[in-house]
Amino acid sequence: MLLIPAIDLKGGQCVRLRQGDMEDVSVFSDGPLAVAERWVKAGARRLHMVDLDGAVAGRPINVGPIHDVAEAFPELDIQIGGGIRDEDTIQSYLDAGVRYVILGTKAVTMPHFVADVCVEYPGHIIVGLDSKNGKVATEGWSKMSHHEVVDMAKHFEHDGVEAIIFTDIGRDGMMRGVNLEATVELA
């Protein structure tokens, strides 16, 4: 089993949102690098990072802290999501030492893009499917699509993604555990 700790970034701080609400924020630290160091010292081999501001803006915002962590811990496999909507951003993160990029909104709105970048960057592309009542959300969870999670996952599996990250928005940040039923259905 691989446990993957997470650092969500908003305004350069490590935060936790409740159900993706950008106004319902708990700040855990002003120092993403120190938090990453704590995870590395605890034995983390991979780190999940999300640029929450970037997810809403549609472009990377918290680039500095992400690059700092990648530079400080080159042996750590970092997966980053939030605001990744073009190949230049993918290349920039990979050049900085990030191992995996997570596509969410772009994957849902332009699924052919995923197939293209899976060919261009094999083994580095993950798709994030964030769901509310079985439908996929986009743009930092601010918009709901008409796409079913399971259908999208099947599509991206055939495109050759490295992994799929599934989040049940209704459970996120609520400290109620995973939505086992939806997770099993997706698996």
Active site residue 77: no
Query: How far is the C-alpha of 174 from the C-alpha of 16, rounded, in Å?
Result: 10
Catalytic pick among 53, 130, 168, 172: 130
Half-sphere exposure of 29 (CA within 13 A, CB side): 14
Catalytic pick among 8, 51, 159, 168: 8
User: In angstroms, how far is CA 83 from the centroid of its own chain?
Assistant: 9
Place of tokens 């980053």: 80
CB 158, CB 109: distance < 8 Å: no
For residue 23, give Cα distances in angstroms to 17, 82, 173: 8, 17, 13
Active site residue 8: yes
Active site residues: 8, 130
